[in-house]
Structure 1
Amino acid sequence: MSGQILDRVGPSPAEGGDDPGDVVLGPPTGVREDGDGFALRAPDGIRYRVDLASGVLDPGNPLLGGYLEGRRVVAFVGPTVDRLYGDRIRAYLDAHALPGQWTLHVMATGEHHKTLAAVENVCALAKADGLDRHGLMLAVGGGIVADVVGFAASIYARGIRYIKVNTTLVGQVDVGVGVKTGVNALRTKNMYGAYHPAHASLNDPAFLATLPHREIRCGLAEIVKMAVILDDELFRTLERHPDAFRRPAATVLDDGALEAYVLRTSMRLMMEELCPNLHEHNLARLVDFGHTFSPLIETAGGHRLEHGEAVAVDMALSAHLARLLGLADEETCFRVVRLLRRIGLPVFDPVTCTPELMTQALRASWQRRGRKLHLVVPTGIGKAAFVEELADLPGDILEDALKALAADGERHDA
């Protein structure tokens, strides 16, 4: 067995001073947390900031307006965000952008619309609006809007600035804190894309209050991911409060302290893990836990499962594989699967969780990751290892893991 436990060493704090997104030479590197968010400086000099603030669309709040810097703005939102916040976004741009220097477009969302054609449409609209190389694109929405607009910004006029205002939990703890953009193509999730740090990324927890519970659960899947591989205390918190971000207002006696802790901890953990390896020169990444089988679960299932739901199934399967390979004890496996179930996430999909398809998923990941599997499995709560070779994962073990999940599902459904 070639699985290795990767010990995470906390990075040194980064210093402030330069504009977000600028390239800065020299140390120090790392992630610095302050009362208003997080600042990251990577070893390659890339710098960016993720702000955590309330009322970002209030006309009296200057935060977003400061990042606009009087530039021409072409903004993009999805239909739901337009319905909920469209008037507020327009009022904010009226107050903080130059007259006649901003436009707003509603774009289709959903994985089926996360395509190269969508990126070309964003670029075409920007060109028609007169966006020049000094202007910027503004994405207000979830991960799909951020991915499509971010990719468009990375190739428009060879790269322009863009800003993300993240309105979903997945966006705030995952897409909103990284530098990757991308779209689906060639029957493969995120086949085309670019590393393009946002000029600014803004997280407002108030947006989460309008999310349907399914969207919250999908975001919690990404938070469980970080807890399993890096932070046992965050995991225990979720065990005590699997209804985080969904608690009735009358029960939130701590003024949202629980949700603030979960959100901040997840953002920090993700940024610390990304920081030394922003451009993924090292393809063995702990944050790929839950992302080996899930791309095929999503695509082969016709995106019937949301991304976070597919990640949950992947994590449950990976936990059972760790148990069967002797890398994790039964209690670790049980706790991971139980927490996912208590949150309300699926842990098995009979349509896609077949030995044939999951073997296909393993081979696709092996090929994509440079002929190494880099399968992340838990070795305890807050610890993880890599299974590096396809030969380390015999087909009978994969079948046994799938059977265990299927049997567990039947017991719960009975």
Structure 2
Amino acid sequence: MTALQQSAELFEQLTGRAPDGIWSAPGRVNLIGEHTDYNDGFVLPFAIPHRTYAAAGMRDDGRIRVVSTFAGDQPVEVALDELATLFPTPTGEEPAVAEWAAYPLGVAWALQLATPSTGSGTTRSGTQFKGVDIAIASEVPVGAGLSSSAAIEGATASALNDLWDTALDRTALARIGRRAENEAVGAPTGIMDQMASMLGEPDAAIFLDCRTLDANLVQVGIAEAGLAILIMDTRVQHSHATGGYRERREACERGAAIMGVPALRDVSVADLGRAEKLMDDVTFRRVRHIVTENQRVLDTVTTLRERGARAIGDLLVASHASMRDDFEISVPELDTAVDAALAAGAIGARMTGGGFGGAAIALIERDGVQAVSDAVTADFAASGFAAPHIFTVTPAAGARRDT
């Protein structure tokens, strides 16, 4: 049974009727540009074929009920006007509801706040914020650094945008997803994941300026170059709501303050010599990663446009080294995946996502998928690690209504 069918079946089990519609949004892979998003920098993600589905339907009351296949099928239900008492989640605290439910409920809360009201409880089109049931099923691996959270947010936001007739564009819905993740779940992430999930297009990466939210499609040309993108999910789960991610963000903010700029986006590679003299070693290395990673994103975009995907391998490898040594967000399983893939002939490889677990990606010859997969699996076994989940992806379409 597909995830789309699972969401529909779960909705019918919950409500006794068919949903009004089914909406979906994809996970994402970040080709390059890690932790630069919340520093107002540049990123280059793309949506993947793996999607999260939200079967949804209106209710006759003012309550919202959510249920998902990955949470024991146990629904969480609250009144819409109670959402403001649940969120925002205070910094460092657990959400007032189960974390999985905080994503869709947080989207509903943020969407209400973002929608101009023409009266009590109505949207600008005059539609009441009526109750809704939402059943969620996903094929995006959870905790793998492929943004299963943004996929939930994008599917939920797309469903509510239609059902509540709020008429918001995709960028506005991405902002709502980020607010839900930041303030409802309490995870201090940037907007890259939500933008990739909302704006994805086949065979294209999204070159995103996270300060202005200007987004331009960059053709990746993987298939025509005879290449493939391999995802190596280490199965080491991570959570952006935990301290390691927050500590990295705080170090970046501290570095920007020392340099007297609004964000590390405003620090160039040429400024690093001065930065090193002003900062302690840890803060400087955190800053150096962001500054050099921003430049690597710009260099990757130029290289893709001028020379094609085969020429970006060294940039991917340099990105991983920076995350491993300067930002210190890799783990032994990620390093093993990257090293094994490169030893087996990958053109380039790097961890992807927030770090502390999750997945790595490798750019490889299309006819080398099995050989690289076997080499990575063998090195994991030799290191005593659990077997990784390895599969290929291609750039795919963003959020949509499916039925």
TM-score (normalizing by structure 2):
0.30
Comparing both chains, which one has the higher relative contact order based on Cα–Cα distances under 8 Å and sequence gaps of 6 or more? 2
TM-score (normalizing by structure 1):
0.30
